[in-house]
Structure 1
Amino acid sequence: MSAYNIFMVEDDKWYGELLQYHISLNPDYKITRFETAKDCLNKLYLLPDLITIDISLPDMQGDKLYQKIREIDKQVPVIVISSQEDITVAVNLLKMGVSDYLVKDESTKDLLWKSIIHIRENQSLRKEVAQLREELGQKFSFEKTLIGQSDALKNIFRIMEKASKTNINVSISGETGTGKEVVAKAIHYNSDRKRKTFVPVNMAAIPRELVESELFGYEKGAFTGAVTRKIGKFEEANGGTIFLDEIAELDLSVQSKLLRVLQEREVVRIGGNEKIKLDIRLLVATHKNLAEEVKKGNFREDLYYRIIGLPIDLPPLRERGNDILILAKYFLDDFAKENKLGSINIAQSAKDKLLRYNFPGNIRELKAMVELAAVMCDGSEIVADDITFNATRSEDNFIIEEKTLREYSLDIIKFYLKKNNNDVIATAKKLDIGKSTIYKMIQDGDIK
């Protein structure tokens, strides 16, 4: 661990040596002591981690020295040590931004010890948060968050890069499960606001009567049950990005209030009068066609033009070709590693089956499907029979992938054989076919 550098400005040589000796008992601390403000200022290029200053110095008062330090270094913490017990002086210095104010007495050296520990811990936490935010920015690089190499996806990358360079509103559309929130996060964490808050709000998940209070907040006593003040999502996202998912579900009455907030760039909590200025980036998403919703009268036209900004239309998985296999392998490796299953491969028969499927649930469905196959497969390879389709839409239940009539017939017979515990006679009776037909398929190796 590198030394923690402390500058100590104290014109009383004896008292300065006393404090230096006491603080130096911690071997991590390196103390550099000065008797004048000028000497301290001349050495600030060494970038100390903390500075303690006496309020009364021979060449400059402590408050003036503090101002000079701030002109050079806006971050370094400063502790003021004074023989004055004037509370007004202490309050003024604390208002100016000093980290602590200590009065010289028999307990000063112990209080200084504790204050340094407290300040150092806060500095460590801030560094850790900054590092984590930096890592988040790297984690959400486009190529790492959206897996695939298709031309359709590369085009999305180009648009996202443009979106990240400005504060323009972004509207993300696409079927359920195509990764709209992932795109929103990637834009935020690659923008100038990446060190600020990202606040996602799923409009479809909030009861209609609570939407306004969730978005805009409320004051204590604004309505029955409002026992404390609540900060709304817009206020929470101030300085950062707010992501309104499924915005088409927003009630018309709240749409008008949202429009006003976006126009005025300010919000007023329910039951309050204070206007809170907003500095936010707005990202929205929907699986519906907003322009069609406007024509139907379900969405305000003026709000539509306010939020549409830069449109990003995410392609469904079925239009991304070989990305299906790249994603499947990515999800499989991740699941196998997490569950200590060892290395699992995908057989060609399973790959062909995945590529023929329509994926109404898109990436979310593929992930669930691959994880189930990893559990169900025997050995270290997923084969076609391990892939289970669970389409929920009626049109997908009828024809969920392109096959020949013979392939569909084999699938149906396999299904009923499994259901009937491989009882050929019961299966033939259920399907109204001759049992010899099934035996012939078994003999030919079509059915195991």
Structure 2
Amino acid sequence: MNIVIVEDDINMRKSLEIALGEYEELKIKSYKSAIEALKKMSDDTDLIITDINMPGMDGLEFIKTLDGKFDIIIMTGNATLNKAIESVRLGVKDFLTKPFDVETLYEAIKRVKILKEKIPANFKKQNNKNLETKNDFFATSPALQKSLDMAKKAAMTDVSIMLTGESGVGKELFANFIHKNSPRKDKPFVALNMAAIPENLIESELFGFEKGAFTDAQAQKKGQFEIADGGTLFLDEIGEMPVNLQPKLLRVIQEREITRLGATKSTKIDVRILCATNANLQNSIKDGKFREDLFYRLNTIPILIPPLRDRKEEILPIAKRVLENSCLEFGFESKQFSKEAETELEEYEFPGNIRELISVVQRAAIMSEGAKISAQDLFLEARKKKDTSEIQKEILQDIIKSVNGNLKEACEILDISEDKLKTKLQKYNIKVGI
């Protein structure tokens, strides 16, 4: 089993490398940063064990960049509920809090290995995003139907649409739905996640480059705008676009032309732009991280996609479709949920929304032994312990207490902005003494 360790602390990194090297079936490689790992690790990697808090690119950014290609175990000395939940949403297999002994880590590795062995050798790995886009809408809830009706009306025009909603609600699926119901349906649909691209590569990815534009530019390359010409370009996590590139995007919208890096002439394009975010861009505007004029150009028609907990009647139809698809993909005999499992699914809040539901069902399909999936096969009890408001409040109170009410220090521990921290304090009615 080929394992990659990503850890900036050299003592920790070398200790893990030596300790895991004692197990003959494990082949270990280690890197001091996520950036180094992205450059050097091979495609035959079976498992990545990564820290969260690292300079340059943190663990969660690293995982988003990998886009579901590898199995992941997270280790951290600064565990927070938010990061644990976010890691679950991203499909992380395990979340270990430092300090831990090597046996604990080895047991986590074995669990990943068992999952891999249960998947047939002829199974072509699909990530969550691919499965998401295969599933049609089950618009049985008034909340989702309202959003779909707005999307259908907006699809017939060329105006910019901003899709908002929590992580995992299916914003790319919505964008694809708009494209398929538009006059551009026979032209390309191109999706780009701003959060999954290293900041220094976003410009060349969007606009392309000429041969010789920079050291590694061995040949001309079209950007995503040119690739989407005539069709639709979906920019997910638009709030992650660097401020210095936002004027260039605004110019593209206004002038309908792009200039490749290193080019002397511009190229005309005909692209409809759809955007999505789970962040509050109004706050980003106040913080100087997002241009107000660009926001209003992109936000002509805002469409809010409701979270899965507000569409409870859709959980079982979606889960059954995902289970059916998963059994076909994995080469398993047909499986069904038991009544107890169906009840568990309907009662669970799904903080990770559709993406988490897909992950839960896929795991159950692999781990269950018979034709019936039991409530225990869903592992929802363990997840419930991670997403209750009371636990979030307790952890937040403990952090505030540990830093003696210093909001700046609390922000560093939680890895969030001061505005977001104040919102959480207000939500849980936590008072901080002056």
Q: In which range does the TM-score fall when normalised by the shorter chain?
A: 0.5 to 0.7
Q: Which residue of structure 2 aligns with residue 325 of structure 1? A: 316
| Greater RCO (Cα-Cα under 8 Å, separation 6 or more) | 2
Any stretches of 5+ residues in structure 2 without a counterpart?
1-132, 393-434
**Where does 1:237-386 land on structure 2 (aligned, <5 Å)?**
237-386=228-377
Does the CA contact (< 8 Å) of 1:171 and 1:308 recur in 2? yes
> Which TM-score applies when normalising by structure 1?
0.54
What is the SS of the residue equivalent to 2:306?
Answer: coil
| Aligned equivalents of 1:331, 1:300: Cα separation in 2 | 39
1:178 paired to 2:194: no
How many angstroms apart in 2 are the aligned matches of 1:364 and 1:392? 16
1:387-427: CA deviations, max 9, x gaps? 21364995549669xxxxxxxxxxxxxxxxxxxxxxxxxxx
2:220 to 225, 229, 248: 229
- Residue 179 of structure 1 deviates from its aligned partner by 0.8
Alpha-carbon separation, structure 1, partners of 2:304 and 2:276: 10
1:69-218 pair list within 5 angstroms: 145-218=136-209
- Structure 2 counterparts to residues 381-392 of structure 1, below 5 A: 381-389=372-380, 391=383
The offset of 1:206, in angstroms, is: 1.2
Contact 2:135 2:321 in 1 (8 A): no
The one-letter code of the counterpart of 2:311 is R
Partner of 2:276: helix, strand, or coil? strand
Secondary structure of the corresponding residue to residue 312 of structure 2: coil
May I ask how many residue pairs the two structures share in their alignment?
Answer: 259
Whether the 8 Å contact between 1:148 and 1:327 is mirrored in structure 2 is no
CA distance, structure 1, for counterparts of residue 134 and residue 200 of structure 2: 40
What amino acid does structure 2 have at the position aligned with 1:285? A
TM-score (norm: length of structure 2): 0.56
CA distance in 2, matches of 1:285, 1:373: 30
Distance across 2 between alignment mates of 1:325 and 1:144: 13
Change (3 A) 1:143 1:155: farther
8 Å contact kept, 2:336–2:371? yes
Percent of residue pairs bearing the same amino acid type: 46
Distance across 1 between alignment mates of 2:259 and 2:331 = 51
Q: Tell me how far 1:279 sits from its aligned partner.
A: 1.1
The alpha-carbon distance between structure 1 residues 299 and 391, as it changes in their structure 2 partners (threshold 3 A), is: farther
Are the counterparts in 2 of residues 197 and 241 from structure 1 also a CA contact under 8 Å? Answer: yes
Would you say the 8 A contact 1:350–1:382 is kept in 2?
A: yes
**Partner-residue secondary structure (3-state), 1:145:** coil
SS of match in other structure, 2:288: coil
Distance in structure 2 (CA, Å) of the matches to 1:361 and 1:192? 33
CA distance 1:373–1:395, change in 2 (3 Å): closer
Q: Secondary structure at the match of 2:159?
A: coil
User: What are the superposed Cα offsets for residues 97-121 of structure 1, whole Å, 9 maximum, x if unpaired?
Assistant: xxxxxxxxxxxxxxxxxxxxxxxxx
Shift of the 227–243 alpha-carbon distance from structure 1 to 2, 3 Å rule, reads same
Amino acid at match of 1:173: T
Partner Cα distance (1:382, 1:281) in 2: 43
Deviation at 1:241, TM superposition (A): 1.0
Q: Runs of 5+ in structure 1 lacking a partner?
A: 1-141, 401-448
